[in-house]
């Protein structure tokens, strides 16, 4: 069974953390992952940096540019992660835009992920229809979960379709926005969280975009299974040494 | 061979809508309805009326006698430079603003490189009384100050794109991010035949007025609808798409796309995408694009701001891959020389983009009786400083 699915069966709220590989320093990748796991994080999204990240706000854009300047590449990321499963047990997901993966070769990319022990992929600009037609069997062959996004604007019909095609969790984008923190969730977002809960989907949902602290994390996990923190963590790394990762995580989980 | 978009939004292997889920409802809304709206009589009436009375169409198809003498062939210039705002760009913005109105949108966003599409968008927003926000790379804002001023005079807000390389591709990223953040009230007017389906098709349809007019004007002047050659420059490719459109299925009409080779195709400062590019995904479309081995999009270069886009529209990628169109790379030097030649021989100062198409005359041999139509996509007023610096006037 896939590590993501095992984790989702646990009777607890899931804290997932996103970081950009190659940031702040080129070779921080492994130690960031190890420190996140030791701090009690449940799942990690490793961001494969891209020159033109359309769905991301300024924080992740800047971390991606910096990571690329530092020399991060797809090949190098796989080298850095080659022995990650000797020390890390929690689910690992790679989040990357389609073009770098396409250039690496989709099958080769999936094969490398499987060898390393990656559990799932989030490719925000890979359309659902293209995934279904061209890549679904490849993902199944390498036991990789394809994690799809929904937003407050996604129609019920499409959410049902995404739910049917998913087999781990649904990444619920909290509001109509690019990535980036906000201080709290308003009424319209609460209504959206309620609406999705009432749909009784087969896949649990994890909320991302706009979670930055204990308050937003607990709001997001009132009804949904978990929350994902990205930009706020990148900002923390921008200002603090990676040794302080446990402090960051402790503040969310307190 | 079919050169039009299929049901799934592809031209051969190219096109589609590679967009994050956040954009899906907007793009899907447009996809489902654009064909129906454009086909209605009321839309066509208003569109045609504005093209005639506001843009100044039809633009002349001018027989360039002295140029024809020199190259020993029959050269016609399609005078898109005489459109209101100085280039073909406004054909498309008129069409898209009418679509936006039909969809009940109240806020318009656009990207711009040199500022021509930004000005054309600001113009139609003023015409319709709609709020207009134009994203422009911080570096382009410095390079194209007169167009920034024009947009502001027309009532638009110009927002600097400060991410990445701070040029056209980043302005496009910022416009797309704005659309993600404002999915309900906002319409995104894309300036070229790029972006997710249905944009490449709808922009090509709005620009197709160019080739339609060429047909009727040639019939009048030459007694036949079809030329032997149509030549146009390609950055994203909207003026070429418009000039080629009604000839795509007629293989007797040779199509030539002039790309910017900058300081030389392999100089490292070039925008010759058909030669240097590989298949990939940019701004929601699968097409040929300039990128690193690792799939990071690289920054192109051309002396002409309108041609330095790292990709080409998916229609053009298909025309290239299927060999329907011939792609010829023109250096800065060749384009500048051809631009100046048109000034001296015909009394027309062309945009440097269009000068790339004119430079094809020195690269290719034509027969005495060939009819060669060159799309003069814009006028050179905006490029005066570049001309002055280059030739030391």
CATH number at residue A65: 3.20.20.70
Instruction: Kindly list the domain boundaries of chain B, sorted by start residue.
Output: 18-50+89-203, 57-87+208-391
Top residue of B279, B287, B294, B299 to mutate, by most chain A CBs within 10 Å, is B294
Q: A148 CB near a chain B CB, below 8 Å?
A: yes
Three-state SS for A16? strand
Q: Are strands B285-289 and B61-63 parallel, antiparallel or unpaired?
A: unpaired
Question: Between these two residues, B80 and A179, which has the higher pLDDT value?
Answer: B80
Q: Note if A56 is an active site residue.
A: yes
Instruction: Return the pLDDT at A211.
Output: 93
ipTM above 0.90, yes or no: yes
Q: How many domains does chain A have?
A: 1
Interface list for A 128-147 with B (CB within 8 A): 128-130
Which CATH code of 3.90.550.10, 3.40.30.10, 3.40.50.1100, 3.30.70.260 fits the domain covering B57-87+208-391?
Answer: 3.40.50.1100
Q: What is the pLDDT of residues B283-303, one digit of tens each?
A: 999 999 999 999 999 999 999
Closest CA to B160 of B130, B182, B140, B131: B140
CB A51 within 8 A of CB A100: no
The pLDDT-based confidence of A247 (bands split at 50, 70, 90) is very high
Q: A50 CB near a chain B CB, below 8 Å?
A: yes
Give the domain B18-50+89-203 fold.
Rossmann fold (3.40.50)
Q: What is the mean pLDDT of residues A43-68?
A: 95
The C-alpha angle with vertex B308 and arms to B304 and B311, in degrees rounded to 5, equals 150
Closest CA to A179 of A218, A214, A154, A210: A210
Q: CA-CA distance, B149 to A92, in Å (whole number)?
A: 50
Determine which helix (DSSP H) or strand (DSSP E) holds A44, and give its type and residue range. Answer: strand A43-48
| Cis, peptide link before residue B392, omega less than 30° from 0 | no
Average pLDDT in chain B: 96
Same fold: B18-50+89-203 with B57-87+208-391: yes
Chain A residues within an 8 Å CB radius of B8: 129
Tokens of B273: 């995408």
Q: What proportion of chain B, given as a percentage, has pLDDT over 90?
A: 94
Provide the shortest C-alpha distance from residue A247 to chain B (in Å): 31
Q: CA-CA distance, A40 to B90, in Å (whole number)?
A: 57
Could you give the count of Cα atoms lying within 13 Å of B158 in the half-sphere of its Cβ?
27
Determine which helix (DSSP H) or strand (DSSP E) holds A77, and give its type and residue range. Answer: helix A74-80
Residue of A nearest to B286 (CA): A99
Instruction: Return the pLDDT at B167.
Output: 86
Instruction: Return the pLDDT at B139.
Output: 87
Number of A/B CB contacts below 8 angstroms equals 112
Q: What is the mean pLDDT of residues B372-385?
A: 95
Average pLDDT in chain A: 96
Q: What is the pLDDT of residues B228-285, one digit of tens each?
A: 999 999 999 999 999 999 999 999 999 999 999 999 999 999 999 999 999 999 999 9
Nearest to A51 among B17, B18, B296 (CB): B296
Instruction: Return the pLDDT at B144.
Output: 86
Provide the shortest C-alpha distance from residue A77 to chain B (in Å): 12
Tokens of B137: 């790379």
Closest CA to B354 of B325, B383, B316, B327: B383
Residue A89 confidence (pLDDT) above 80: yes
Top residue of B111, B174, B177 to mutate, by most chain A CBs within 10 Å, is B177
Residue A181 confidence (pLDDT) above 80: no
Domain extent, residue A200, equals: 3-253
Numbered residues of chain B with Cβ closer than 8 Å to any chain A Cβ: 8, 16-22, 24-26, 163-164, 169-170, 173, 176-177, 180-184, 278-284, 291, 293-297
Closest CA to A156 of A204, A207, A206, A195: A195
Contact B25 A50 (CB under 8 A): no
Instruction: Return the pLDDT at B249.
Output: 96
Q: What is the mean pLDDT of residues B319-330?
A: 98
Instruction: Return the pLDDT at B22.
Output: 94
Distance of CA B177 to the CA centre of its chain: 22
Q: Note if A45 is an active site residue.
A: yes
- Catalytic residue numbers of B, as ranges: 89, 111, 377
Cα separations (Å) of A170 from A119, A207, B241?
Answer: 15, 8, 40
Q: What is the mean pLDDT of residues A147-153?
A: 96
Q: Of how many residues is chain B composed?
A: 393
Three-state SS for A93? strand
Closest CA to A72 of A21, A140, A135, A137: A21
Cα separations (Å) of A232 from A97, A246, A252, B71?
Answer: 20, 14, 11, 64
Q: A154 CB near a chain B CB, below 8 Å?
A: yes
pTM of the model: 0.96
Nearest to A100 among B26, B283, B294 (CB): B294
Q: What is the mean pLDDT of residues A217-222?
A: 95
């Amino acid at each position: 069974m896939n590590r993501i699915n095992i984790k989702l069966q646990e009777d607890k709220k899931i804290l997932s953390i996103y970081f950009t590989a190659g940031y702040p320093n080129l070779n921080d990748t492994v130690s960031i992952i190890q420190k996140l796991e030791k701090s009690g994080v449940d799942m990690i999204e490793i961001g494969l940096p891209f020159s033109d990240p359309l769905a991301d706000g300024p924080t992740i854009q800047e971390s991606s540019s910096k990571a690329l300047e530092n020399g991060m590449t797809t090949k190098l990321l796989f080298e850095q992660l080659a022995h990650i499963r000797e020390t890390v047990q929690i689910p690992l997901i790679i989040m990357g835009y389609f073009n770098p993966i396409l250039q690496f070769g989709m099958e080769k990319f999936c094969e490398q992920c499987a060898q390393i022990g990656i559990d799932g992929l989030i490719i925000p600009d890979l359309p659902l229809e293209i995934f279904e037609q061209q890549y679904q069997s490849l993902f199944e062959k390498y036991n990789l979960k394809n994690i799809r996004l929904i937003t407050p604007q996604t129609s019920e019909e499409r959410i049902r379709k995404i739910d049917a095609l998913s087999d781990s969790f649904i990444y619920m984008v909290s509001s109509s926005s690019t990535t980036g923190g906000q201080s709290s969730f308003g009424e319209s977002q609460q209504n959206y969280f309620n609406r999705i809960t009432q749909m009784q989907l087969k896949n649990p949902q994890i909320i991302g975009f706009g979670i930055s602290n204990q308050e937003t994390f607990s709001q997001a996990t009132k009804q949904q299974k978990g929350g994902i923190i990205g930009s706020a963590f990148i900002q923390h790394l921008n200002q603090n040494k990676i040794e302080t990762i446990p402090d960051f995580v402790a503040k969310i989980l307190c | 061979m079919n050169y039009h978009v299929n049901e799934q939004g592809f031209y051969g292997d190219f096109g589609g809508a590679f967009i994050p889920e956040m954009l899906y409802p907007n793009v899907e809304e447009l996809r489902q309805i654009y064909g129906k709206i454009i086909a209605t009589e009321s839309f066509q009436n208003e569109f045609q009326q504005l093209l005639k009375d506001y843009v100044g169409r039809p633009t002349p198809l001018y027989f360039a006698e002295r140029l024809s003498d020199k190259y020993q062939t029959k050269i016609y210039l399609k005078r898109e430079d005489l459109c209101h705002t100085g280039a073909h760009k406004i054909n498309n913005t008129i069409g898209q603003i009418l679509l936006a109105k039909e969809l009940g949108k109240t806020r318009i966003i656009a990207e711009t490189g040199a500022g021509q599409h930004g000005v054309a968008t600001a113009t139609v927003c003023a015409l319709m009384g709609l709020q207009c926000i134009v994203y422009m790379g911080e570096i382009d804002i410095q390079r194209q100050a007169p167009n920034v001023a024009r947009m502001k005079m027309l009532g638009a807000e110009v927002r600097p794109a400060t991410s990445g390389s701070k040029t056209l591709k980043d302005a496009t990223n910022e416009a797309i991010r704005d659309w993600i953040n404002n999915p309900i009230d906002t319409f995104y007017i894309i300036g070229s035949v790029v972006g997710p389906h249905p944009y490449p098709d709808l922009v090509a349809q709005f620009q197709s007025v160019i080739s339609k007019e060429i047909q009727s004007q040639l019939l009048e002047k030459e007694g036949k609808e079809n030329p032997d050659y149509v030549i146009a420059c390609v950055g994203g490719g909207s003026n070429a798409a418009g000039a080629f459109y009604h000839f795509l299925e007629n293989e007797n009409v040779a199509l030539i796309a002039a790309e910017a080779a900058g300081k030389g195709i392999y100089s490292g400062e070039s925008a010759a995408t058909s030669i240097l590019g590989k298949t990939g995904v940019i701004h929601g479309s699968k097409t040929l694009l300039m990128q690193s081995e690792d799939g990071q999009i690289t920054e192109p270069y051309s002396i002409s701001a309108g041609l330095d886009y790292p990709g080409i529209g998916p229609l053009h990628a298909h025309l290239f891959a299927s060999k329907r169109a011939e792609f010829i790379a023109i250096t800065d030097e060749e384009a500048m020389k051809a631009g100046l030649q048109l000034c001296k021989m015909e009394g027309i100062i062309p945009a440097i983009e269009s000068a790339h198409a004119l430079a094809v005359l020195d690269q290719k041999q034509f027969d005495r009786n060939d009819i060669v139509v060159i799309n003069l996509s814009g006028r050179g007023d905006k490029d005066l400083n570049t001309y002055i610096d280059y030739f030391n006037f």
